[in-house]
Structure 1
Amino acid sequence: MNKVITISREYGAGGHTIGKRVAQELGIEIYDKDIVRETVRASGFETEVVQEEEEDVSKASTFLKSLCSSSVHYRDPQEVIHEVQTAVILQFAKKGPCVILGRCADDILRESGIETLNVFIHADDLHRAVRISEMTGITNATELQKLMAKKDSSRRNYYEHYTHKKWGDSHNYDLTLDSGKLGVDLCVQMIVEAAKAEE
């Protein structure tokens, strides 16, 4: 298996769990929080700033940043963080086969000519709500719905801002899997088989 696997995912669809299992099955590295750590080290920004900026592009913040950008001394922190993360993702991908979660990795590596297997994980609201409740301890259905919508909106806006492609559109991925219907085990198996088949 000589490709990099990228996994984009809806919040609560189990993408991290699936990615970790795929990496274990294939005996390769998985990069998620490592990207944050290296971005903090290389950019000088605090961890909280990187985590806040890395997957959140709202229309309001874009408007405010555009006003500030008229200053020759202003450098949008999110743009700086994205540039550093792009370099970090490329650095990890060039080390060899691995799994990279989110952060526009599919588009970054495609643009750089690095061979990838690009996966999108989604699920219905009920399965996602159950998983999120287990992760966060939140049990109120309205709160869970709001959290899903907020996280998905942040990921969608970030992806579409930097790639100019539609987040979750099957045309942008090699595999789109419904973890609610298929279950984690089958999703892992399908990704592993697809990765091996492309050798």
Structure 2
Amino acid sequence: MMKHTIITIGRQFGSGGHEVGNQLAERLDIPLYDHNLIRMAAQELRISSEDATQVDETILGRFLSAYMVSTGSYTAFMSGEASGEPLSDRVFERQSAIIRKLAEKGPGIFVGRCADYILGDYSNCINTFIYAYKDDRIRRIMKLYKLDEKQAADKVKKTDRERKLYYEARTGREWGGIDSNSMMFNTSLLGIDGAVDALEAIYRKWDER
């Protein structure tokens, strides 16, 4: 039975969920698993990180042909044989296996990738969701990606829609819903530092049980 504590972070785009996870990992001196999960899955599937990224946290790949070719960099073959399974499904399955393996190994913070659902059998999981007011998220994305207001608003809307569809299709749960999360943090009210402070205190108290 897993005795160490795991934190999962679901997040709205532009809410600062990755930054919360990154700062928290530094304070607690535990690993952060986010975009590196894509690279791990890509390596095990023997595809490029770019190809894995294209289907990461999006459900679109499930509706495309299993025999896509992306600029000649891959085809939907595994070990030289056609798998008949969409790349998005294979990436999800491999990431899920990696998440479970890493969670068994030791404490860590998992951002996105349906980690709360994948680790649903583990009792020592603190499942959180980071959100913020839309205007604050748009301003954050404008600054991060050097976009104008309309471009940032479109990117926020598109990314949130993809994450919602991905999560709900994979889990059958409501994305950002209270049934999937132990607690939720509004970074418009708390700020990034406030959310990190709260989660650090919760983690340390939880880990002492």
User: TM-score scaled by structure 2?
Assistant: 0.85
Out of 121, 130, 150, the position equivalent to 2:130 is 121
Q: How does 1:1-199 map to 2 (within 5 A)?
A: 2-58=4-60, 62-65=62-65, 74-111=84-121, 113=122, 115-139=124-148, 141-199=149-207
Deviation at 1:90, TM superposition (A): 1.2
Amino acid at match of 2:34: D
Aligned to 2:71: none
Deviations 1:143-172 (A, max 9, x none): 111100100011111111111100011221
| Contact 2:32/2:109 (<8 A) preserved | yes
Moved over 6 A (4+): none
Task: Judge conservation of contact 2:129–2:184 (CA < 8 Å) in 1.
Answer: yes
Equivalent position amino acid for 2:13 in 1:
Y
**In structure 2, do the counterparts of structure 1 residues 80 and 62 end up closer, same or farther at CA, with 3 Å as the change threshold?**
closer
* Aligned-pair CA distance for 1:6: 0.6
2:128 maps to a residue whose letter is V
Partner of 2:8, secondary structure, is strand
Q: How far 1:190 sits from its partner (Å)?
A: 0.8
Matched residue type, 2:87 = P
Q: Distance in 2 between matches of 1:12 and 1:73?
A: 36
Shift of 1:130: 1.5
RMSD: 1.9
Greater mean deviation of Cα atoms: 49-58 or 154-163: 49-58
One-letter amino acid of the counterpart of residue 149, structure 1: K
Query: Number of residues paired by the alignment?
Result: 191
Choose between structure 1 and 2 for higher RCO, CA contacts under 8 A separated by at least 6 residues. 1
Deviation at 1:62, TM superposition (A): 4.2
* Separation in structure 1 between the aligned mates of residue 12 and residue 111 of structure 2, nearest angstrom: 12
Secondary structure of the residue aligned to 2:119 is helix
Q: Residues 195 and 73 (structure 1 numbering): CA distance in 2 closer, same or farther, change over 3 Å? A: closer
Percent of matched pairs sharing the same residue: 28
Counterpart AA for 1:35: L
Give CA-to-partner distance per residue, 1:88-109, whole Å, 9 cap, x none.
1112112211111100001101
Shift of residue 32 of structure 1?
1.2
Output the TM-score relative to the length of structure 1.
0.89
Structure 1 residues 88 and 3 mapped into 2: Cα distance closer, same or farther (>3 Å)? Answer: same
Distance 1:73 1:189 in 2: 46
How far off its partner does 1:2 sit?
2.5
The answer as to whether partners of 1:9 and 1:121 remain within 8 angstroms in 2 is yes
Q: Distance in 1 between the 2:134 and 2:33 partners?
A: 26
